[in-house]
Amino acid sequence: MAAGVAAWLPFARAAAIGWMPVASTPMPIPPQDKRKAQDGLIILNVSGTKFQTWRTTLERYPDTLLGSTERDFFFHEETSEYFFDRDPDIFRHILNFYRTGKLHYPRQECISAYDEELAFFGIIPEIIGDCCYEEYKDRRRENAERLQDDEEMDMNNDVTPVNLTFREYLWRAFENPHTSTLALVFYYVTGFFIAISVMANVVETVPCGTLPNRSKEMSCGDRYALAFFCLDTACVMIFTVEYLLRLIAAPSRCKFMKSVMSVIDVVAIMPYYIGLVMTDNDQVSGAFVTLRVFRVFRIFKFSRHSAGLRILGYTLKSCASELGFLLFSLTMAIIIFATVMFYAEKGSTATKFTSIPAAFWYTIVTMTTLGYGDMVPKTIVGKVFGSICSLSGVLVIALPVPVIVSNFSRIYHQSQRAEKRRAQRKTRLARIRAAKIRGTNAYMRYKQNGLLIDALEEVAGQALVGKAASPPFESQHHHLLHCLEKTTNHEFVDEQTFQANCMEISVVNKSGSRTSSLSSSPHGLSSCCSRRHRKKSSFSLPSTNNQELSTIQIRERPVSNSRSSLNAKLDKTMPLKCDEAYISPSMVRLSAPVATSSDDTSTATTTYSQSNIVRVSAL
Amino acid sequence: LSMVRHQPEGLDQLQAQTQFTRKELQSLYRGFKNECPSGLVDEETFKTIYSQFFPQGDATTYAHFLFNAFDMDRNGSIRFEDFVLGLSVLLRGSVTEKLRWAFNLYDINKDGYITKEEMLAIMTSIYDMMGRYTLPSVRDDSPFEHVEKFFQKMDRNRDGVVTIDEFIETCQRDENIMASMQLFENVI
């Protein structure tokens, strides 16, 4: 509160002597300042950049890191300074906050980096000064939107279309045409037919030359009535089928029927059916003709095909208030000027300004600078007001337009950014995956090196340390993973090995003629294997890692006859030529999946721990 | 924001004129300069700063009187020398000097006499700082009654004004007042 003017507190207290002679009651005892530490300098070393400030400056805000005893944790004895391993550029702003009481947000800094620093030093961002608060909030909002988009995309695209019902599958095909070729074909076909239908409506009205027995020129629609009718029927059939399919597939039918696109669909095909019903009734043929106008709404169906159209529609919706203002001010101006023009032109003879509503037309045409010239003022007063009208028209219309344009631009750029992120997602995921595989391989090598050394020490008593030592962090990490393995009595393997083993076990499971130590839980296995099937990945041979291991382990192939018996019972043709290295009896190898397939890991490990398969060499 | 800038006299001179040590003067000047980079405090800034310490009420009137008490040469702005001299009296001066300073504060027109009107103005401004939410609530005549009590105590010869001698004498006889004068010794 008064921390900004903390330097003046001694003054305020001293001036309180002025109250003493008039005080009604005795004064309270002043607080004892136990920490009467002299105002000393504190050195703050932030990643090498030294900042210095008075101790009292920092202690103005005692609930932050620097202002409280929490900073003692960062005190570096040898240099008797406080060392922080943080970003010095952002720290500058944080220190300025202590000095001036105002927190500023630098525009060039990343918002998440800044937020992290604030959180570290215990400063709440709400106290950012007014000068920088808008910018900060905007950046924060953008960041949050980006994160939300990412999450949504994750949720959308990670769900592999496996166990979806036919209905869900259909809906998904409609909404995202690029998911399957059939959906794509459907998408383009409907687009084509929309175009055909609209063009037919247009060409229908073009004059097509005269028939020999008629003097009047006929439109193409009348001349080739049957052809156009067939075309129209075909298009409407396609649209109807599409609409019905969408209706069936929609997860929430009521919501679907209320949506804009569905309304457009209905309006596009209704005239045809109504026309079918009432063709022979002359009385309502006028109404029928009107209905045909609604066929033009088919062109709006294109908005499913074009993102730009959707953005335009969305822009208009979001600028509703600006548009409303435009409309309102235009109406006001029209009424005012029409009235004025009417009364100005009332006197002149044979004037076209017969009434105020008639003058509306003149006003609108003038204000939008069209100037058809069908209604023109003749009196001088009329001309004067007419010119004022046209000048003001330019102004009134030009004002809200930039707002609408900027809205459109903002939304359009947002959608472009979303597209770009989607495109970058694939490379990003590939990178993450590659990193995981690297980690797994490194761990395998570590284990292999360890075992190699153990085995060879027994054999030759010499250490085979040919490789460069891995950095201490890595070796400690690998040791940790190894300890976990020993704890749970399972092993980490990579994805390929896991799948291969899974296949093995499914084979084994089917045969059922294994040793009694096979206490597998079938359904867990089948789930894991079926999951693998669902992934549609090919059955790969075990990776080279295992084969390297096989050099030191006893490698035994299963006895051929049992293998052949398995073959006989198999109904799936699986490549069984995996050169599996079977484990020596002393070391039980249990396959547990590594965290490469993140979505399957947890369930797979549990199934495996339940299954507790012990594969021993075939005997 | 005026373009006028003022630099104070040297540290040695100020040290000679006041009772502060060098370090104290340095600390005081740093705080002063932080709030008033131009080296001068005008009345508006002074009121703003002082009001921050009393957020519940309205401290502007009292700040006005206080400003006049510090601004000894009446030029509308307080320089660092005025500031420091005033503080020197308040924190390091003798009791008589402090009492003299208080008298100077109450004597609005600086004519050497405190009238009832002046005292009432001072008292109202002090009660204004309390604000509306007090217990018991400040009645409209609370300042007036307070002034009456003050005059009864201070005005010896019942002539309606309080002179400097009456004031000092009465205060020196009152133990409470004498004790409270020593209260803020250790502020700096």
Token digits for A176? Answer: 């995202």
Question: Chain B: nearest CA to A67, how far in angstroms?
Answer: 18
Q: Which two tokens stand for residue A325?
A: 């203002």
Does residue A65 belong to any structural domain of this protein? yes
Are residues A21 and B91, on separate chains, in Cβ contact within 8 Å? no
For residue A384, the model assigns a pLDDT of 95
Is A484:A517 a contact under the CB 8 Å cutoff? no
- Residues A383, A318, single domain; the answer is yes
Find the helix or strand (DSSP H, E) in which A44 lies: strand A41-46
- pLDDT for res A587: 40
**Average pLDDT rounded to a whole number, residues B148-177:** 87
Per CB-CB distance under 8 Å, the chain B contacts of A6 are: 31
Q: Do A21 and B171 touch (CB under 8 A)?
A: yes
Which chain A residue is nearest to residue B89, measuring alpha carbons?
A: A14
pLDDT at A509 > cutoff 70: no
Nearest chain B residue to A54 by CA distance is: B27
More confident residue, A519 or A169: A169
- What's the gap in Å between the CA of B84 and the closest CA on chain A? 10
Q: Which residues of B are less than 8 Å from A8 in CB distance?
A: 31, 35, 49-50, 53
Selection from A542, A556, A533, A434 nearest residue A498 by Cα: A542
Which of A340-349, A510-519, B122-131 is least confident?
A: A510-519
The answer on pLDDT for A298 being more than 90 is: no
User: Pseudo-torsion of CA B114, B120, B126, B129, nearest 10°?
Assistant: -150
Nearest neighbour of B90 by CB, restricted to A14, A21, A54: A14
pTM: predicted TM-score of the whole model, two decimal places:
0.52
According to DSSP, the residues that pair with B161 across neighbouring strands are B115
> Residue A4 pLDDT more than 60?
no
DSSP collapsed to 3 states, B48-102? HHHHCCCCCCCCHHHHHHHHHHHCCCCCCEEEHHHHHHHHHHHHHCCHHHHHHHH
Altogether, the residues listed in chain A come to a count of 619
B47/A contact by beta carbon, under 8 A = no
The boundaries of every CATH 1.10.238.10 domain in chain B are 20-91, 94-186
Higher pLDDT, A63 or A516: A63
Over residues A238-245, mean pLDDT: 91
Look at residue A145 and tell me whether its pLDDT is greater than 50. yes
Same domain, A172 and A287: yes
Are A216 and A275 members of one domain? Answer: yes
Among the partner residues B49, B55, B184, nearest to A1 by beta-carbon distance: B55
Distance (Å, whole) CA A509 – CA A493: 21
Residues of A in contact with B34 (CB under 8 A): 7
**Residue A581 — very low, low, confident or very high, per pLDDT cuts 50/70/90?**
very low
pLDDT per residue as tens digits for the range A128-142: 888 888 889 888 888
Distances (CA, A) of A34 to A28, A31, A37, A38, A264: 18, 9, 8, 11, 78
Q: How many domains does chain A have?
A: 3
Please answer yes or no on whether B90 and A17 come within 8 Å at the CB atom: yes
Nearest chain B CA: its distance from A472 CA (Å):
51
Label residue A411 exposed, middle or buried (CB < 10 Å: 0-12, 13-18, 19+).
Answer: middle
Helices (H), A176-259: 181-203, 220-223, 225-249, 253-258
A407 has pLDDT over 70: yes
Query: How far B175 CA sits from the closest chain A CA (Å)?
Result: 10
- Domain CATH number, residue A421: 1.10.287.70
Q: Which of A9, A15, A23 sits opposite B180 (nearest CB)?
A: A23
Same domain, A290 and A170: yes
**Across the strands, what pairs with A493?**
A593
Token look-up 């998440």 returns A112
Residue A124: pLDDT above 80? Answer: yes
- Is residue A33 in a domain? no
Of residues A508 and B23, more confidence is placed in B23
In this complex, the residue of A9, A18, A30 whose CB is nearest that of residue B102 is A18
Cα separations (Å) of B122 from A22, A110, B63?
A: 10, 54, 10
Q: Which residues contact A534 (CB under 8 A, 6 or more apart)?
A: A160, A162
Decide if A470 is inside a domain: no
Q: Which residues of A touch B181 (CB under 8 A)?
A: 17, 20
Q: Which residue has the higher pLDDT, A218 or A601?
A: A218
Is A265 within the bounds of a domain? yes
Q: Identify the pLDDT of residue A568.
A: 43
Domain presence at residue A405: yes
The verdict on A175 and A275 lying in the same domain is: yes
Q: Which residues of A touch B (CB under 8 A)?
A: 1-2, 4-24, 26-27, 30, 33, 38-39, 54
CA distance to partner chain A, nearest, from residue B8 (Å): 18
- CATH number of the CATH domain containing A139: 3.30.710.10
pLDDT at A559: 41
Whether complex ipTM tops 0.90 = no
Does the pLDDT of residue A248 top 60, yes or no? yes
pLDDT per residue as tens digits for the range B123-157: 888 888 887 777 777 788 888 888 888 888 888 88
Indicate if the pLDDT at residue A589 is higher than 60: no
Rounded to a whole number of angstroms, the distance from the CA of A314 to the nearest CA of chain B is 48
Separation of CA A530 from chain center: 30
- Residues in CB range of A113: below 8 A, 6 or more apart: A87, A90
d(C-alpha B80, C-alpha B37), whole Å: 11
Contact, B52 vs A4, CB < 8 A? Answer: yes
Of A103, A136, A156, which marks where a domain is finished?
A156
Facing A14 at nearest CB: one of B35, B177, B184: B184
> Quick one: average pLDDT of A496-513?
65
A/B interface, count of CB pairs below 8 Å: 92
CA distance B64 to chain A (A): 13
What stretch of H or E contains A54? strand A49-54
Residue A487 has pLDDT above 70, yes or no: yes
Contact B150 A22 (CB under 8 A): yes
Q: Are A383 and A377 in contact (CB under 8 A)?
A: yes
pLDDT reported for residue A565: 42
Note whether A301 and A342 are same-domain residues. no
Residue A359's pLDDT band (cuts 50, 70, 90): very high
Q: What average pLDDT does the structure give for chain A?
A: 74
The mean per-residue pLDDT over the stretch B35-59 comes to: 85
Average pLDDT of span A22-47 = 76
Residue-level pLDDT at A519: 40
What share of chain B has pLDDT > 90, as a percent?
A: 6
- pLDDT score at A237: 92
Where a domain ends, among A261, A277, A305? Answer: A305
Do the chains contact at A14 and B187, CB–CB below 8 Å? yes
Q: Going along A500-614, which residue ranges are E strands?
A: 591-593
- Say what the pLDDT of residue A617 is: 39
Average pLDDT over residues A270-278: 81
Q: Please state the separation of Cα B27 from the chain's center in Å.
A: 21
Q: Which of A17, A19, A54 has the CB atom closest to B126's CB atom? A: A19
Nearest CA in chain B to A100: B34
Q: Is the Cβ of B69 closer than 8 Å to some Cβ of chain A?
A: yes
Do A328 and A415 lie in a common domain? yes
Is there a single domain that holds both residue A255 and residue A297? yes
Q: How many CB atoms lie within 10 A of CB A396?
A: 16
Long-range pairs for A304-309: beta carbons < 8 A, 24 or more residues apart: A304/A261, A305/A187, A305/A191, A305/A194, A307/A415, A308/A412
B96 interface with A at CB cutoff 8 Å: no
pLDDT of A602 strictly over 70: no
pLDDT for position A613: 40
Instruction: Please give the pLDDT value at position A522.
Output: 41
What distance in Å separates residue B142's CA from the closest CA in chain A? 12
The amino acid that residue A309 corresponds to is: L
B94-186 is classed in which CATH architecture? Orthogonal Bundle (1.10)
A391 or A23, which is more confident: A391
Q: What is the mean pLDDT of residues A501-509?
A: 67
Note whether A27 contacts B53, CB cutoff 8 Å. no
Interface touch A10/B188, C-beta < 8 Å: yes
CA distance A45 to A71: 12
Buried b (16+ CB within 10 A) or exposed e, A250-281: beeeeeeeeeeebebbebbbebbebbeeeeee
Note whether A580 and A546 are within 8 A (CB).
yes
Residue A579 clears pLDDT 80, i.e. is over it: no
Which pLDDT value is given to residue B80?
86
- A26: closest CA of chain B, how far (Å): 6
- Total residues belonging to chain B: 188
**pLDDT tens digits for A304-341?**
888 888 888 888 888 888 888 888 988 999 999 999 99
Q: Select from B31, B179, B186 the Cβ nearest to the Cβ of A8.
A: B31
Contact status of B2 with chain A (Cβ, < 8 Å): no
pLDDT, greater one: B4 or A586:
B4
pLDDT band at A445 (very low <50, low <70, confident <90, very high): confident
Range of the domain at A59: 41-156
DSSP state of A461: S
- pLDDT at position A586 is 39
CATH of B20-91, one of 1.10.238.10, 3.30.1180.10, 3.30.70.20, 3.40.50.300: 1.10.238.10
Query: Least CA distance to A18: which residue of chain B?
Result: B102
Task: Provide the Cα torsion A226, A228, A232, A238; round to 10°.
Answer: 90
Residue of B nearest to A2 (CA): B52
* Chain B positions in Cβ-Cβ contact with residue A33 (cut-off 8 Å): 186
Structure-model confidence comparison of residues A616 and A26, the more confident one: A26
Nearest to A579, CA basis, from A493, A492, A504: A504
Confidence of residue A360 (pLDDT cuts 50, 70, 90): very high
Q: Which of A397, A399, A320, A316 is nearest to A364 (CA)?
A: A397
Which of A270, A305, A340 is the C-terminal boundary of a domain?
A305
CATH number at residue A249: 1.20.120.350
Residue A510 pLDDT level (bands cut at 50, 70, 90) = low
What was the pLDDT predicted at A338? 94
In a domain, A506, yes or no: no
Put simply, the answer to whether B167 touches A21 (Cβ < 8 Å) is: yes
Joined together, the tokens standing for residue B78 give 């307080």
Do A324 and A219 belong together in one domain?
A: no
Give the closest-approach CA distance of B162 to chain A in angstroms.
13
Looking at chain A, which residue has its C-alpha nearest residue B54? Answer: A2
Both A176 and A295 in one domain: the answer is: yes
CB A20 to CB B53 under 8 A? Answer: no
Let me know whether A216 and A151 are in one domain: no
Is A20–B122 a contact, with Cβ atoms under 8 angstroms apart?
A: no
Q: Which of A505, A540, A532, A531 is nearest to A610 (CA)?
A: A505
Position A253 in a domain: yes
The residue that leads in pLDDT, A389 or A449, is A389
Q: Within a 10 A sphere around the Cβ of A1, how many other Cβ atoms? A: 7
**A384: amino acid identity, one letter:** V
Subunit contact A18:B35, Cβ cutoff 8 A: no
